[in-house]
Amino acid sequence: MPNTPLVLYYDLETTGLNSDTDGILQLASHLVELNDTGQLHRIVKSHSLFMNPGVPCSTSARETHGITDEFVKGYPPPQEVIEGWLNSIREGLGLNRPILLSGHNSLSFDDKFLRRFVNFDREISACIDTYKLARRVVPDAPSMKLGDLYQQLTGLEPERAHDALGDVTMGVQILDHLLELSGLTAQQAADSMSVPVLLDCMPFGKFKGVRFQHLPAYHIKWCLGAHGMDMDVKHSAQLERHHRRPN
C-alpha cells in the first residue's frame, strides 16, 4: 500500500519553552502503520535520540525531565540527529508514503521546535494534535494533560512522565482510543485540526477553568490579539465578544 499514510507520533524534551532561543535535548517517536479502515494498526519503528543543542538547559526544564547539559555534552547537534531520524523513518517505506505527524500539544509547542530543522511542506502531509483532538472527542474530560488523559482513557497508570519515549508510548494509545471513540480515521482526525471548536472554559493561564462568558473584557481582547493564539481559544473569544456587543 504505497500511498497509505503512516502516523509518526513524536515528543521532544527541550532546554526551555521558547522555540526561538531554546533547543532540543531528546526526540522520541513511534512510526505507526494504519489498517484498511484508517485506524492505528502496529508500531513499525521506534526512536529515542539525544542531542546537544548548544544552549544551556533551564533549571525548570531540567527539574521536569532530568536531562542535564553534562549528559548531552557528547551527542551530535540537532540538525545531524534529526536528519538521521528522518532518513531512518523513510528507509524502506517508500518516498511517497504520506506522514501524519502527531503529538500531544504539538501544534502549540513541539512543532515550533521541529520546524527549525524539518521542512513540513515537503516532509509532512498533515498534523494530529491529540490534545486538540481530545477537546473534540472527550470535551468533558477532567484534564487534557497527557498522563491524566492516558489514565482516563485506558484505566492504566501513566508511563514515565516527561520522558520523551514514555510520552510517545502513552500518546499512541491516547490517539488509538480517541480514533476508536470518535469513529474517525487518522486522516479525518488530521482534517479536523483546521476546524475550530467552541470551548466552555479558558484552558490555560491565570483564568484557566473560567467560563468565557465570565472572562474580563481585557482578557477576551488579549485572546484575540496574542500572536500564535490557540485556534479554539481565539474562536471562542470571538463568539463571546460578539455576544457581548449591544444589539
Please report the pLDDT score of residue 37 as a whole number.
86
First to last CA, the chain: 56
- Where does 74-171 show beta strands of DSSP type E? 99-103, 126-129
Q: What is the mean pLDDT of the chain?
A: 93
Please report the pLDDT score of residue 19 as a whole number.
94
Count other C-beta atoms under 10 Å from residue 246's C-beta: 3
Band of residue 161 on the pLDDT scale cut at 50, 70, 90 = low
**Which one, of 99, 145, 92, 135, lies nearest residue 118 by Cα?**
99
Q: Enumerate long-range contacts of 216-221, CB under 8 Å, 24 or more apart.
A: 217/244, 220/244
Band of residue 90 on the pLDDT scale cut at 50, 70, 90 = confident
pLDDT tens track for 3-51 = 788 999 999 999 999 999 999 999 999 999 999 888 899 999 999 999 9
Answer whether residue 92 shows pLDDT above 90: no
Band of residue 245 on the pLDDT scale cut at 50, 70, 90 = confident
Please report the pLDDT score of residue 49 as a whole number.
97
Band of residue 94 on the pLDDT scale cut at 50, 70, 90 = low
For range 94-116, the mean pLDDT: 90
Cα R_g (the chain), whole angstroms: 19
Please report the pLDDT score of residue 36 as a whole number.
87
Band of residue 240 on the pLDDT scale cut at 50, 70, 90 = very high
Answer whether residue 247 shows pLDDT above 80: no
Answer whether residue 97 shows pLDDT above 90: no
Band of residue 95 on the pLDDT scale cut at 50, 70, 90 = low
- Quickly tell me which residue has 521558547 as its cell: 18
Answer whether residue 143 shows pLDDT above 90: yes
Q: Give the β-pairing of 24-34 and 40-50.
A: antiparallel
Answer whether residue 159 shows pLDDT above 90: no
Band of residue 70 on the pLDDT scale cut at 50, 70, 90 = very high
- Per cent of the chain over pLDDT 90 is 87
Band of residue 246 on the pLDDT scale cut at 50, 70, 90 = confident
Answer whether residue 93 shows pLDDT above 80: no
For range 207-212, the mean pLDDT: 96
Answer whether residue 194 shows pLDDT above 90: yes
